[in-house]
Amino acid sequence: MESYKVRLILTEQDIRKLSLDAKPKNVEELKIKIKEKCDLQYDFNVMYEDSDFDNAFCNLEDIGDLPASRATVKVIPLLVTASTTSMSDDSCVSNDTVILPTDSSSTRHNPWPEIFEIPNFSVDVEFRLRQSNLQYLRDQTYLSVTRDMKHSILEKLAETIYKFDAYPNNERINSVALALINKHPCLKEQGSPDGCSSWKHSLKFKMGNYRTKLRKAGCVEVGVNRGKTGGPGMAAKGLKRPKRSEVNYLPEHPEGQNGDSLEAVRQLLVEEMRKVNPSGTFIASKMDLTFSMRRHEIVDAETPVKTLMERWPALFTERQVFAEFNRIVTTDLQSNFYGAVDRYTPRFVTIFKSKKGTVGEKLDELMQQMNTGKEADVTAMRTLVLRGLPILLGDDASNFYNTCNACDVDGWPQVSVGVLTVIDEEEPLIPNKLYLDPVSTAVIVEGGIVLDNLQNLPQAICILFGLSYALNLKYPKGMINTFNFIQKVMLGLGQNKLPPKLQSLKNLLLS
């Protein structure tokens, strides 16, 4: 196939000749090729010489406008400038106005803060609060908050909360209310047990009102739940909203991108994954770019896993599972998961040894396999903890932890979500054996193996936990307590009120 020649104008002093394998299929592919060939780190538009207008430059919107064999194109960098309009004066904002996020993408980059920082309000509100705080310090006089002042405070708080979480739970609402009265003690409420009961109530309703405004403005993250209530007096069912501390659950497309342009990038990703040695840098960059498209397919369209494997093969690699988890939760799963298991291992071993009865017998059977006369390695101890945890929590792991010989790997239709330990063909299958030196380990989702050739069981469980977020999977039915304990206690994601069984183990672990 004859190559496609491009005379590329970066600047008046930098004009290059590019040779492409073929004419790009679309404008997005052309941009990607230019970025790769010239190592450009910024976004840009492309113009071309239009023969209909004496070769004057025009915006390139259709790849068909380029000549068949060679063309002259010009790169126009996109400059991102900060808005010069100040929106700090909330007193100018009416009840029907919503301040949309100003980032070029709705993707959040920071998790919920450990200490919520109360933002500055409008000038007049800040002045009144400052005077009232001084008055409170002198004689404990509480401020009588006017309606417009309360609206201004709540509107600014809702805007700030939304930057971290579109659907904050009661715990997070409480933390904001407490932070508010700590910074502005004049806002404390007389007769309230914690001084902010009314603020909590108002914030909860304000967030609902704020989401309604965003929904009317076309925000997909909250618009996806439109009209899903069960009717008057009935609870809403099937709502698509974050339930496991997902920071970016259903983001908008990046600025300047739409479904067609992102689909072109997805196809390039599929082609890249077919190569013997795909480019990790290229894959990471394009997976970041197509994150919003992927989340809509997974969360909104509920695309089957088998179809996702065909459309997004890069997602089913170890590196991209961890990267996707980071995009969704903004934390490093791999280091946090292994760090938590290693940190709690000594305490878990002590708890295992202290248990009696049937639970104690099962745990002792696992412990006996560690007595090899030498100090067990890190992987072995992690395996012990992860196999013993469901026993402590009363889960049924019989359909989750699976073992087979190397000749019987295929076919696990009875397993919705689980891990598979593959052992040597001649090694006997023994129930409850740890198999600390397997041939390989695999991850099963919806009856099929989605990742294989993993080194050990802890690695497989870590990746499976990441996949539960990346694919929006429900935790395996028999292992709900175990996965919730890993999420909420060991990883500290969504520390809501725990069920008695989980709270009891947490108390033992931290005692």
DSSP letter for 296, please: I
Distance in angstroms (rounded) separating the CA atoms of residues 88 and 65? 46
Q: Per-residue DSSP letters for 10-24?
A: EETTEEEEEEESS--
Question: Is the confidence at residue 65, as pLDDT, over 70?
Answer: yes
Q: Say whether pLDDT at 471 is over 80.
A: yes
With a cut of 50, say whether residue 82 has pLDDT above it.
Answer: no
Could you state, in order of their start, the residue ranges of all structural domains in the chain? 4-77, 95-223, 259-316, 340-510
**Taking phi first (over 0 means left), then psi (-120 to 50 degrees means alpha), and beta for anything else, what does residue 9 get?**
beta
**Mean pLDDT value of segment 33-57:** 82
* CA–CA gap between residue 472 and residue 458 (Å, rounded): 21
CA angle 275, 335, 409 (to 5 degrees): 50
What's the CATH fold of domain 4-77?
Ubiquitin-like (UB roll) (3.10.20)
Residue 170 three-state SS: helix
Over range 27-41, report the average pLDDT.
83
Whether the pLDDT of residue 92 is over 70: the answer is no
Per-residue confidence (pLDDT) for residue 250, from 0 to 100: 87
H/E stretch holding 421 reads: strand 417-423
Residue 269 has pLDDT above 80, yes or no: yes
pLDDT of residue 226: 59
Contacts of 414 (CB under 8 A, 6+ apart): 399, 447
- pLDDT value at residue 408: 79
Give strand pairing partners of 71: 6
pLDDT, tens digit (0-9, with 9 covering 90-100), for 385-439: 999 999 999 999 999 999 998 877 777 888 899 999 999 988 888 888 888 889 9
How far apart, in whole angstroms, are the C-alpha atoms of residue 476 and residue 50?
58
Phi-psi region of 417 (alpha: psi -120 to 50; beta: other; left: phi over 0): beta
Least trusted range by pLDDT, from 150-154, 226-230, 458-462: 226-230
* Residue 18, burial from CB neighbour count under 10 angstroms (0-12, 13-18, 19+): middle
Q: Which CA distances in Å does 325 have to 107, 295, 467?
A: 13, 12, 8
d(CA 423, CA 405): 5
Q: Residue written as tokens 């339930």?
A: 243
pLDDT digits (tens, 9 = 90+) for 163-220: 888 888 888 899 999 999 999 999 998 888 888 999 999 999 999 899 888 888 877 7
Residue 373 has pLDDT above 60, yes or no: no
Long-range contacts of 112-120, Cβ-Cβ distance < 8 Å, separation of 24 or more: 112/164, 112/165, 112/168, 112/172, 112/245, 112/247, 113/164, 115/179, 116/172, 116/175, 116/176, 116/179, 117/179, 118/157, 118/176, 118/179, 118/180, 118/183, 118/184, 119/156, 119/157, 119/159, 119/160, 120/88
Cβ contacts of 139 within 8 Å, gap of 6 or more: none
